[in-house]
Amino acid sequence: MNSTFRTLAEPNRLRVVELLREGPLTVGEIANRLGLSQPQASKHLRALSAAGLVEVQAIANRRICKLRPLPLLELEVWLESFRHSWDEKLDRLGNYMQEL
What is the tally of structural domains in the chain? 1
Give residue-wise pLDDT tens across range 21-53.
Answer: 999 999 999 999 999 999 999 999 999 999 999
The length of the chain in residues reads: 100
pLDDT of the residue at 54: 95
Q: How far does Cα 88 stand from its chain's mean position? A: 27
Q: Provide the residue range defining the domain that includes 90.
A: 1-99
Q: Which of 70, 69, 61, 56 is nearest to 25 (CA)?
A: 56
Give residue-wise pLDDT tens across range 66-91.
Answer: 999 888 888 888 888 888 788 888 88
pTM for this entry: 0.77
CATH number for position 48: 1.10.10.10
